[in-house]
Amino acid sequence: MRNLVLIGMMGCGKSTAARLLAQELELEAVDTDQLIEAREGRSIPDIFAQSGEDCFRELEAELCRELARREGLVIACGGGLPMRPDCIGPLKTSGTVVFLERDPNDIYDNVNMEHRPLGQVEREAFLERYRQREPVYRRWADRVVSTRATAAETLEAILEVLR
Ligand code: S3P
């Protein structure tokens, strides 16, 4: 079974969707941020603060090469991961990439950014980051799904495009 790879802006709901999808399809859910935190023994904010974003991106790239060699995974990717071809490239080769699309204003207003170093910015900077990333997400995506009012409905929408 090839992998399912969920990409999209921070706070769009990738981790929840990955968990629900994995349950439904009897696959294993993994989350790149959580795996990096577990391996490093420190939180994402600590990695950014102590070692810098470049270090974090290298950890992401290393992890992607590993995950791409596995099968049967639903992979929730960190929001910035698709910006590096050496991260998303191997994952795309390993499976189907789904871009989970959610209005960035909705994210900004409703999602807790406490543990997201790049989320603690003014609205305009957040929207600008989204504008830069959105075409990249779209370019790597095999499928695009807009999030719905509930996680269960979003799950149904993803299952529908995968059929
Ligand atoms: C990031 C998103 C985060 C995490 C890190 C950087 C980004 O993941 O990888 O804070 O660059 O958008 P989520 O998308 O799970 O918040």
Distant-in-sequence, close-in-space partners of 33: CB < 8 Å, separation ≥ 6? 15, 44, 76, 78
Answer yes or no: are the C-beta atoms of 18 and 29 closer than 8 Å. yes
Is the per-residue pLDDT at 1 higher than 90? no
Residue nearest to atom 10 of ligand 1 (CA): 116
| Residue reference for tokens 């596995």 | 70
pLDDT digits (tens, 9 = 90+) for 128-145: 999 999 999 999 999 999
Spatial separation of the C-alpha atoms in residues 158 and 133, rounded to whole Å? 21
Residues in contact with ligand 1 (CB, 6 Å cut-off): 10-11, 33, 44, 78-80, 116-118
Nearest-atom number in ligand 1 for the CA of 116 is 10
Residue nearest to atom 11 of ligand 1 (CA): 80
Residue 160 CA to ligand 1 centre (angstroms)? 26
* Residue of 14, 47, 116, 137 with the most ligand 1 atoms within 8 Å of its CB, for mutation: 116
Percent of the chain with pLDDT over 70: 100
Neighbouring CB atoms inside 10 A of 21's CB total 21
> pTM for this one?
0.97
Listed residue (131, 124, 126, 160) closest to 143, CA to CA? 160
Nearest-atom number in ligand 1 for the CA of 80 is 11
Over residues 40-69, mean pLDDT: 97
Is the per-residue pLDDT at 22 higher than 80? yes
Q: What are phi and psi of 7, to 5 degrees?
A: -125, 165
Residue nearest to atom 16 of ligand 1 (CA): 10
Answer yes or no: are the C-beta atoms of 162 and 27 closer than 8 Å. no
Report which DSSP code applies to 140.
H
Residue 159 CA to ligand 1 centre (angstroms)? 24
Q: What's the token pair of residue 74? A: 């639903």
pLDDT digits (tens, 9 = 90+) for 71-120: 999 999 999 999 999 999 999 999 999 999 999 999 999 999 999 999 99
Neighbouring CB atoms inside 10 A of 154's CB total 22
